Chain A
Amino acid sequence: MRMAGSIKNTRSDFRVGRALAAVLGGCAALLLGLVLRPGMERPAYAGTTPVKGPSLDNFIDYASPLEVLLSPDGARLYVLCQQSEEVRVLDAGSYGVIGKIAVGRVPRGMALSAGGERLLVTNSWDDTLSVIDTRALAVTATWKVGAEPSGVVEDLAGKYVFVANRISNDVAVLDAQTGVEEKRLLTGRAASYLTLSPDGKRIYATHIYPNPDPLRTGLENRTPPESEITVIDAQRAEVVDRIPLHSIAGVFHLAFSADGRLGVVAEYHPKNLVPLAHLEHGGAFAYTLTLFGADVGKPVEVPLDELERYSAQPFGVAIAPDKSRIYVTLAGSESVLVIDVPRLMRFLRTRPRPASGSFAQDLSASGDYVIARIPVGHNPRGLALSRNGQTLYVANRLDDTMSVIDTRTLRVATTIALAGPTTVSALRRGEQTFYSAHYSFQGQIGCSSCHIDSTFDGLQWDLEPDGFGIDIVDNKMLEDIKDVAPYKWNGGNPNLPTECGPRTEKYFWRSENYGDLQLTDLVLYIRSLPARPNRWRLPGHELTPAQERGKAIFERTVDQFGKPIPLENRCSYCHSGPQGTDRKLFDVGTRKLTDITGVFKTPQLTNIALTGPFLHDGSARTLEEIWTIYNPEDKHGRTNDLIKDQLNDLIEYLRTQ
């Protein structure tokens, strides 16, 4: 029997109630502020993903530079501008604009062919690849590729183009001349960034969400995250190795030294298996590099953080041509970290290497090899080094600027303002706040540490408000959530200002409070995050036969035996409305021994297929397990009368949501 629940007077609820009372007045003011904020601009997603709508003219078009490349001759800078959906071509000497090339929706990755004759750009929202002739500065072809294409590289021989597909967890291998897809290679979950080795023989693929644990039984969910670097033979286009990244969730750009003997990848090392009780001593995250290759032997993980200052959200990485330095953009710390490679190698030679191969817990380590931290703009992402290694270009995504760093002085020599709006809107301020670790204790975490690219991280966390060791909760996707209040799995937060304000400040940041307008801007940004296009829906939104059958099951009122299904035991009753939630609390029989309550808010179904694992604590690895394992008493809808074919149909329909 499914029970419509109510919030009981538990210990944690009492705390929540007090918090609610404390902020009630503030929330009202903030909501009023939201209504009254002037200057609406294009809402953004996944790092300034614009959503074009009928009132587009009212929106502000920021450039949001995400990646930068230098032409092989060093004469040009190609800047991938995600929000204005274009590539800006700058003269690398004068920084004057040579051209602007419009590409597809929400571009994310960019690569040059070996000779620099063509530039490839992935468009993550319309699943295409723009092929640009760099002499004509024009798109010569647009190829259809896989789901949410991200990283891209072309092999040196010009035989294949490799595209990382974030949604389908693979790398597509395309004919470099025709764009016809020949095959897809399995990568880690949410394949995102690709790097060609200096000799052109290997391609290295990273991914931003951890891989599902193959050994987990489904009855437990507290295993360390596992990620990998997928190594692809460029000639055979086959996976030849997988470099394991233990306890890592969130892997970004990878770079090689010119001699190919040192590989470096930027990554997050979350501490989600222990209660999030404090931020001291790296309580929530370590931000690290994994080094691999002949120079280091077995892969080794080294921290970027300092004792009282963290290196939040490393993203881009580059190695000087003479292998003297490693440069890392810290997207959350708004700076570029500089590592002295000889000192790093000395550190590795002299320090006893832990059996795990990880120094991530040693906050004193970085003092041995980090030599500078160079402040740049908001949310620095991609970076590129000049051929002589003396100039470093950094794309400041949320400033619409490029920092040009003189690597001899380790200072910003100049800042290039990309042409565009000079007004910093409320929405943009909110996005800057979202992506900054500035507000947390010692700058350790920001919203985007767990909500990578404004999504989620695929992890389960033990948060303090509910008590330590209890109420383990799965991190939820931030997509189209503006109308699904209340928030939290237990529905404890009535609105986003509460969710993002005092609670976040107290239990996450453990530091300074947002000002009222800062919180208002942040909430405005989060409310603006749309749902990305659903890849399981057919063009025109018609349903496949399996989806049609699944829809009938979703909406059915009688079971297989003709017996009426109680209202609250129908899929469509709780999962109703545009986001697939009635926003009410129910007990669906998923309470664990460590849970204070078994009553949880009905989660929205928006792009549900992308958001695994499932249930409040992430115990269901797949949609199937929700019903094959965790619904023995039909509390989570009447499903035990279904045969396997029907369950598959139901899942096919859910994927269209």
Chain B
Amino acid sequence: MRKFADKRWFAMALLAAAVAAAATPRGTAQTPARQPHAAAAATAVPRMPHFKFVNYTTEDGLPNNHVYCVLVDGDRIWAGTDNGLGLFENGKWKTYNTKDGLAHRAVLSLSLDKRTGDVWAGTMGGLSRISGGRIISYTQMNSGLSNDIVYGVSVEGENVWVATASGAGRLNLHTGEWSLYNERNTPMKEIWVYGVSAKPDKVYYAVWGSGVLEYTQKTGRWDMYADPDEETELVLFKDQGLVHDIVSSISYVDNIVWVATYFGDSRYDGRYWHNFLTKDSGLPSNFTNFVKGADANHAWFCTDKGLAYYDGTNWAVYTRSLTTHKPEMTVRDAKGKVTEIPVTTGPAHNYMNGVDFQGGDIWVATSEGLSHGILEH
């Protein structure tokens, strides 16, 4: 029964993604010139970041408009798309694809090794390491990788942690040893692992249908956090645990775990859980593809209905009207009051897949292009 329910929800998610992608027109490149924002003078509205969005599509050189993930490396922007890995540098796009050694054309996840500058890409056909222009790819055939569909990747020290369609894994770059984690050696009930966030103390996995998996590096201990009410459609025990077991993304920063599910989101501080749902937060949708914590109290949520920013108290949502496709921004304060902020630019599409930060700017992966949110104030 549980598996059936999981598959049903996955099918619904795919359908929602397809509808969203089809319903909204393709975003167009907009002028990058900075302009003062008309809503700046609004009173009693919490100060939330205002962006001028510049959107990139294939017309600008982006490899493909379906962007699964984005990674900022200083002045360089990496975009994992449905047809190659794009690198935006010095105002130009360069594309890496299978002819260059990329494991597969569809790049689902990215991680930067900040020490070496190497970029690791999880693809639909394996894991690729991009190092100084050279690409080395690991597959389930030529390496210890458990499955070629690599939904998530996170580099920590000499270890590369991966989330795959057949369990989790770790590649030790010094020894070359692969360690696989699945239902046989962890509390994981399902092995469809969607995301990973690794730090020197803990590694967290987002497991589709099996909640959050926590690995303590010092002890080698595994723990699992699951939805306490075990309901797939209801949240009976709010703030008493993970909001839902169908976890799509995870972000561990400043000892805080931010969790995205297809039925709301959660924050975990090691002791207490806090859940976010559309009915009592600023989330535009409970269907969240990706979450990235900026720190312990600030996080960004990529949903199927827009991008949400949470500053610990207030929410801002960046989206486009489903009817007019005009850009929209709303701010929700602590009391739940929602204020519309006039804006002239917006992200390329409402179906958001990923976000990364470049100073105050943001880069957003959407189903119809890559958006650069230039911080105005």
Q: Are A186 and B132 in contact (CB under 8 A)?
A: yes
Q: Is A368 an interface residue (CB 8 A)?
A: no
Q: Are A241 and B133 in contact (CB under 8 A)?
A: yes
Q: Is A184 an interface residue (CB 8 A)?
A: yes
**Minimum distance in angstroms from A536 CB to a CB of chain B:** 7
Q: Is A215 an interface residue (CB 8 A)?
A: yes
Q: Measured between alpha carbons, how far is A240 from B76 in the docked complex, in Å?
A: 13
From 209 to 251 in chain A, residues with beta carbon under 8 angstroms from any chain B beta carbon are 211-212, 214-215, 218, 228, 230-231, 236, 238-242
Q: Is B31 an interface residue (CB 8 A)?
A: no
- Picked from A183, A218, A231, A624, the residue with its CB within 8 Å of the CB of B115 is A183
Q: Are A184 and B174 in contact (CB under 8 A)?
A: yes
Q: Measured between alpha carbons, how far is A185 from B174 in the docked complex, in Å?
A: 11
Which residues of A lie under 8 Å from residue B146 when comparing CB positions?
644-645
Name the CB-closest residue of B to A233: B117
The verdict on A183 contacting B142 (CB below 8 Å), with A239-B132, A241-B132, A546-B179 known, is no
Interface string of B234-265 (1 = CB under 8 A from A): 00000000000000000000000000000000
Which residues of A lie under 8 Å from residue B99 when comparing CB positions?
215
**Minimum distance in angstroms from A59 CB to a CB of chain B:** 34
From 614 to 650 in chain A, residues with beta carbon under 8 angstroms from any chain B beta carbon are 621-622, 624-625, 628-629, 644-645, 647-648
Interface string of B133-144 (1 = CB under 8 A from A): 111110011111
- Picked from A214, A648, A651, A655, the residue with its CB within 8 Å of the CB of B136 is A214
Which residues of B lie under 8 Å from residue A146 when comparing CB positions?
174
Q: Are B180 and A629 in contact (CB under 8 A)?
A: no
| Chain A CB within 10 Å, residue with most, of B129, B158, B173, B180 | B180
Q: Are A185 and B116 in contact (CB under 8 A)?
A: yes
**Minimum distance in angstroms from A378 CB to a CB of chain B:** 37
Which residues of A lie under 8 Å from residue B134 when comparing CB positions?
186, 211, 228, 242
Q: Are B131 and A182 in contact (CB under 8 A)?
A: no
Interface string of B157-193 (1 = CB under 8 A from A): 0100000001000000111111110101100000000
Q: Are B182 and A645 in contact (CB under 8 A)?
A: yes
Q: Is B118 an interface residue (CB 8 A)?
A: yes
Q: Are A648 and B174 in contact (CB under 8 A)?
A: no
Which residues of B lie under 8 Å from residue A228 when comparing CB positions?
134
Q: Are B137 and A231 in contact (CB under 8 A)?
A: no
Which residues of A lie under 8 Å from residue B117 when comparing CB positions?
236, 238-239
Q: Are A214 and B135 in contact (CB under 8 A)?
A: yes
Which residues of A lie under 8 Å from residue B144 when comparing CB positions?
624, 644, 647-648, 651
Name the CB-closest residue of B to A536: B175
Q: Measured between alpha carbons, how far is A215 from B136 in the docked complex, in Å?
A: 10
Q: Are B142 and A645 in contact (CB under 8 A)?
A: no
Interface size class of A (residues with CB under 8 A): 35 or more
**Minimum distance in angstroms from A226 CB to a CB of chain B:** 10
**Minimum distance in angstroms from B111 CB to a CB of chain A:** 15
Q: Measured between alpha carbons, how far is A264 from B179 in the docked complex, in Å?
A: 42
**Minimum distance in angstroms from A531 CB to a CB of chain B:** 19
Q: Are B116 and A183 in contact (CB under 8 A)?
A: yes
- Picked from A212, A629, A645, the residue with its CB within 8 Å of the CB of B184 is A645
Which residues of B lie under 8 Å from residue A334 when comparing CB positions?
none
Q: Is A197 an interface residue (CB 8 A)?
A: no
Q: Are A622 and B132 in contact (CB under 8 A)?
A: no
- Picked from A214, A231, A624, A644, the residue with its CB within 8 Å of the CB of B132 is A231
Q: Is B101 an interface residue (CB 8 A)?
A: yes
Give the number of residues in B that approach A within 8 Å (Cβ atoms). 34
| Chain B CB within 10 Å, residue with most, of A242, A622, A655 | A622
From 544 to 562 in chain A, residues with beta carbon under 8 angstroms from any chain B beta carbon are 546
Q: Is the interface of A mostly helix, strand, loop or mixed?
A: mixed
Q: Are B180 and A644 in contact (CB under 8 A)?
A: yes
Q: Are B101 and A215 in contact (CB under 8 A)?
A: yes
The verdict on A230 contacting B142 (CB below 8 Å), with A168-B174, A239-B117 known, is no
**Minimum distance in angstroms from B139 CB to a CB of chain A:** 9
Which residues of A lie under 8 Å from residue B133 when comparing CB positions?
241-242
Q: Measured between alpha carbons, how far is A606 from B166 in the docked complex, in Å?
A: 33
Which residues of B lie under 8 Å from residue A652 when comparing CB positions?
177
Q: Are A239 and B135 in contact (CB under 8 A)?
A: no
Name the CB-closest residue of A to B113: A183
Which residues of A lie under 8 Å from residue B177 when comparing CB positions?
546, 648, 652
Which residues of A lie under 8 Å from residue B132 when comparing CB positions?
186, 230-231, 238-242
The verdict on A218 contacting B141 (CB below 8 Å), with A230-B132, A238-B117, A242-B132 known, is yes
| Chain A CB within 10 Å, residue with most, of B118, B132, B136, B137 | B132
Which residues of B lie under 8 Å from residue A628 when comparing CB positions?
140-142
Q: Measured between alpha carbons, how far is A211 from B134 in the docked complex, in Å?
A: 11
Q: Are A624 and B116 in contact (CB under 8 A)?
A: no
Which residues of A lie under 8 Å from residue B141 when comparing CB positions?
218, 624-625, 628-629
Q: Are B178 and A625 in contact (CB under 8 A)?
A: no
**Minimum distance in angstroms from A524 CB to a CB of chain B:** 35
Name the CB-closest residue of A to B185: A645
**Minimum distance in angstroms from B366 CB to a CB of chain A:** 30
Which residues of A lie under 8 Å from residue B158 when comparing CB positions?
184
Q: Are A648 and B129 in contact (CB under 8 A)?
A: no
Q: Are B184 and A218 in contact (CB under 8 A)?
A: no
Q: Measured between alpha carbons, how far is A625 from B138 in the docked complex, in Å?
A: 12
Q: Measured between alpha carbons, how far is A238 from B116 in the docked complex, in Å?
A: 5
Name the CB-closest residue of A to B177: A652
From 63 to 121 in chain B, residues with beta carbon under 8 angstroms from any chain A beta carbon are 99-101, 115-118
Q: Measured between alpha carbons, how far is A629 from B173 in the docked complex, in Å?
A: 24
Q: Are B142 and A624 in contact (CB under 8 A)?
A: yes
**Minimum distance in angstroms from B159 CB to a CB of chain A:** 13
Which residues of B lie under 8 Å from residue A648 when comparing CB positions?
144, 177-180
**Minimum distance in angstroms from A189 CB to a CB of chain B:** 11
The verdict on A622 contacting B136 (CB below 8 Å), with A186-B131, A238-B116, A536-B175 known, is no
**Minimum distance in angstroms from B351 CB to a CB of chain A:** 33
Name the CB-closest residue of B to A651: B144
Which residues of A lie under 8 Å from residue B131 when comparing CB positions?
185-186, 239
Which residues of A lie under 8 Å from residue B176 when comparing CB positions?
609, 655
Which residues of A lie under 8 Å from residue B100 when comparing CB positions?
214
Which residues of A lie under 8 Å from residue B184 when comparing CB positions?
645
| Chain B CB within 10 Å, residue with most, of A212, A230, A628, A648 | A648
Q: Are B180 and A218 in contact (CB under 8 A)?
A: no
Name the CB-closest residue of A to B178: A648
Q: Are A214 and B115 in contact (CB under 8 A)?
A: no
Interface string of A433-464 (1 = CB under 8 A from B): 00000000000000000000000000000000
Q: Measured between alpha carbons, how far is A629 from B141 in the docked complex, in Å?
A: 7
Q: Are A186 and B116 in contact (CB under 8 A)?
A: yes
Which residues of A lie under 8 Å from residue B137 when comparing CB positions?
214
Which residues of A lie under 8 Å from residue B175 when comparing CB positions?
536
Name the CB-closest residue of A to B182: A645
**Minimum distance in angstroms from B75 CB to a CB of chain A:** 14
Which residues of B lie under 8 Å from residue A214 when comparing CB positions?
100-101, 135-137
Which residues of B lie under 8 Å from residue A231 when comparing CB positions?
132
Q: Are B180 and A645 in contact (CB under 8 A)?
A: yes
Name the CB-closest residue of B to A214: B101
Q: Are A621 and B142 in contact (CB under 8 A)?
A: yes
Which residues of B lie under 8 Å from residue A185 when comparing CB positions?
116, 131
Q: Measured between alpha carbons, how far is A624 from B142 in the docked complex, in Å?
A: 5
Which residues of A lie under 8 Å from residue B116 when comparing CB positions?
183-186, 238-239
Question: Contacts A215-B101, A228-B134 given; 16 further ones with Cβ under 8 A?
Answer: A184-B158, A186-B132, A186-B134, A211-B134, A212-B136, A214-B135, A214-B136, A215-B99, A621-B142, A622-B143, A624-B142, A624-B144, A644-B180, A645-B146, A645-B182, A648-B178
- Can you list 15 A-B pairs, Cβ within 8 angstroms, ordered by A? A146-B174, A183-B116, A185-B116, A186-B118, A186-B136, A236-B117, A238-B116, A242-B132, A624-B143, A624-B144, A625-B142, A645-B180, A645-B184, A648-B178, A648-B179
Chain A interface residues toward B at CB < 8 A: 146, 168, 182-186, 211-212, 214-215, 218, 228, 230-231, 236, 238-242, 536, 546, 609, 621-622, 624-625, 628-629, 644-645, 647-648, 651-652, 655
Q: Which 10 A-B pairs have the closest CB atoms?
A: A214-B101, A239-B132, A183-B115, A238-B117, A648-B144, A628-B141, A186-B131, A622-B142, A645-B180, A242-B132
